[in-house]
Amino acid sequence: MFEGQPQNELDALMKSDPEFRQLYHRHRELDKQVLDAELGVLPLDDTTLARMKRKS
């Protein structure tokens, strides 16, 4: 989601907006969990995985 954003813009938002910072970190964590589930590292059922993908 944030891959195309310049890092300096993300850094500025992270410093100035606590809600954005919280949402950004939550998004990153969900992305990591989805990747782990897809790789088989984190065992999840298909329904849970689909729900996580919609949230991220």
- Please, which contacts does 38-44 make with residues 24 or more away whose CB atoms are closer than 8 Å? none
Does residue 36 belong to any structural domain of this protein? yes
pLDDT at residue 16, as a whole number: 96
Orientation of helix 7-16 relative to helix 18-39, angle to 10°: 120
The domain total for the chain is 1
Does residue 3 belong to any structural domain of this protein? no
Does residue 48 belong to any structural domain of this protein? yes
Global pTM value: 0.67
pLDDT at residue 1, as a whole number: 63
Can you give the pLDDT of all 56 residues of the chain as single tens digits?
677 788 899 899 999 999 999 999 998 898 888 888 888 887 878 888 888 888 76
Q: What is the Cα–Cα distance from 4 to 56, expressed in whole angstroms?
A: 16
